[in-house]
Structure 1
Amino acid sequence: MKNYFTLFLTLLCFTAFSQEDGDTIDRKIRATVINAQTDDPMESVHVLNLNQVIGTITNEKGEFAITAAVNDTLYLTFLGFKPQKIRVTNDMFKFEDTKIALTELAYALEEVIVRPYQLTGFLEIDVKNMVVNNGYQYSISGLNVGYEAGNKTPSAVTKVLGAILNPADLLRNLFGRQPNQMRKLRKMKEDDQIRDLLASKFDRETLVELLQLEKVDIEDILSNCNYSKSFITTANDLQILDAISSCYEEFKVLNREK
């Protein structure tokens, strides 16, 4: 009986310690996002849990709730404000009055005249001066993805086939050294809040944080998957995410066949 009692106390203490520590326990964390300059609550701020790849947005009072564990990293973004990364602590679970302040970015605007195409006002002339994206997507029977390969010429088609049959070593190195991050791609694509955020962004900053890749790595991945320079520089972050995901799925198929 004494042994049973000792075992019960041990289990009780272990449970209490685990709950206090909270490192592996997922719970809802609640906090309020405010403007650092005015202390006003901020509505529609995107809050991402980078570890668990889930997202939410703040309500009209600046409040949000998101599932997290101790030591998870929250990434907060709002247009015109500096992104903020917050490490989750035990105190954030104990006290629900946590406030997170975002700092507004300062822009010095000067008079700028933008004439990217040197338009004349005459339709016939201006149409000829417009830059045309000559990137084409190729679909190959048996594959569920397309490949963008520049001009529609026999050499472009050959480039596509070469990419499929002989995957670049660079892709293997990039995908191979971040296998856990690459596995998050599917979760990222399934989370509506993350997709909505990425659809409105073009700076790759959120993708860098989610995938733990450098911007140059993202560009290298897409280049070696035969996406055009025009697509890489002009696509929004959601399109880039979908392109990387398609490339990664094809890479896994090719790796299994090797």
Structure 2
Amino acid sequence: MKHLVTLLFTVLFTCQIASAQDVISGTVMNAANDVALENVHVVNLNQVKGNISDENGSFEIAATVNDTLYFTYIGFKSIKVRVTNDWLKYGNVKVKMTEVGIALEEVTVSDVKLTGYLEIDAKNIPIYENKRYSISGLNSGYEAGDSSPSAFNKVIGSIFNPADALNNLFSRKERQMRKLRKMKDDESIRELLGSKYNRETLTAMLQMSRGEIEEVLSRCSYSEDFVRTATDLQILDAISGCWEEYKLLQRNKN
């Protein structure tokens, strides 16, 4: 009887591992003409794993039932697809993405008059400074400069109350923040975020709104200029660094 119970436990445990390690496959296509799409980024939002489709549009990724896959490709509308039992049972599924028009943002060109003399022109060209102030034990750094005139005040505020400023925000988002390390360790996800500036992928992966992401960065004293111009990967690293510092402060406080 004892051996039978052990055998049943082993079978159940093996089945659980096999289920957790299911690999599903599919093909990404253009919805307009069924042409295969190469280099589409596929991210499992639940397991925080990523992959890229090959020249035939084919991809494979670890997933289980009810996981959500996120597909993103330049020039196409990003989509989320839920993994179903039928997908696991019947194998390859065709995922079709819709092409979208790309509207270029208006660019304002400032009039800078150049004389041809380097010493004079160098003084006329505007320079935007974003300085970093590093305070040991509080954060990896704080930004200040013309584009963030309140940054210094944020530093002073963090000195007097470093933990409480982020406590309410991070305590609500602890589950999302725990994904950060997995996101940073996956090369496919890092490559994807390094090419993105619109925060769309970050909001999907962290299940946070763009406003919440910007609030985190503001609380961590990153300048508006950094928030506006950084890649999604740089934003990820900034949030991750702030989260690690927050956890350290909480441990010291306790």
Q: In structure 2, how many angstroms separate the alpha carbons of the residues matched to 1:81 and 1:200?
A: 15
- Choose the corresponding residue for 1:57, options 52, 55, 66: 52
**Counterpart position of 1:97:** 92
**Residue 141 of structure 1: CA displacement?**
4.1
**What does residue range 164-203 of structure 1 map to in structure 2 within 5 Å?**
164-167=159-162, 169=164, 171-203=166-198
User: Is residue 138–residue 249 contact of structure 2 (8 Å, CA) maintained in 1?
Assistant: no
User: Is residue 138–residue 158 contact of structure 2 (8 Å, CA) maintained in 1?
Assistant: no
CA RMSD of aligned residues (A): 3.2
Unmatched runs of 5 consecutive residues or more in structure 1: none
**Counterpart position of 2:109:** 116
Does 1:135 find its partner at 2:115? no
TM-score after normalising by structure 1: 0.82
- The one-letter code matched in structure 1 to 2:70 is Y
CA shift in 2, pair 1:241/1:49, >3 Å: same
Does 1:32 find its partner at 2:27? yes
SS at match of 2:130: coil
**Counterpart position of 1:83:** 78
TM-score after normalising by structure 2: 0.83
**Residue 253 of structure 1: CA displacement?**
1.3
- Choose the corresponding residue for 2:209, options 189, 207, 214: 214
**Residue 130 of structure 1: CA displacement?**
4.4
Q: In structure 2, how many angstroms separate the alpha carbons of the residues matched to 1:113 and 1:229?
A: 20
Deviates more, 1:135-144 or 1:227-236: 135-144
**Residue 121 of structure 1: CA displacement?**
5.3
Structure 1 segments, 4+ long, off by >6 Å, are: none
CA shift in 2, pair 1:122/1:213, >3 Å: farther
- Choose the corresponding residue for 1:145, options 102, 123, 140: 140
User: Is residue 149–residue 159 contact of structure 1 (8 Å, CA) maintained in 2?
Assistant: no
User: Is residue 22–residue 62 contact of structure 2 (8 Å, CA) maintained in 1?
Assistant: yes
Deviates more, 1:22-31 or 1:246-255: 22-31
CA shift in 2, pair 1:115/1:214, >3 Å: closer
1:187-208 residue CA offsets vs partner (Å, 9 max, x unmatched): 1111111111101000001110
Does 1:242 find its partner at 2:237? yes
Does 1:204 find its partner at 2:188? no
- The one-letter code matched in structure 2 to 1:189 is K
User: Is residue 49–residue 186 contact of structure 2 (8 Å, CA) maintained in 1?
Assistant: yes
**Residue 157 of structure 1: CA displacement?**
5.5
User: Is residue 131–residue 143 contact of structure 2 (8 Å, CA) maintained in 1?
Assistant: yes
Q: In structure 2, how many angstroms separate the alpha carbons of the residues matched to 1:157 and 1:184?
A: 30
**Residue 158 of structure 1: CA displacement?**
6.3
**Residue 113 of structure 1: CA displacement?**
7.4
Unmatched runs of 5 consecutive residues or more in structure 2: none
CA shift in 2, pair 1:53/1:94, >3 Å: same
Q: In structure 1, how many angstroms separate the alpha carbons of the residues matched to 2:98 and 2:151?
A: 47
Q: In structure 1, how many angstroms separate the alpha carbons of the residues matched to 2:123 and 2:106?
A: 22
Does 1:71 find its partner at 2:66? yes
Q: In structure 2, how many angstroms separate the alpha carbons of the residues matched to 1:233 and 1:26?
A: 39
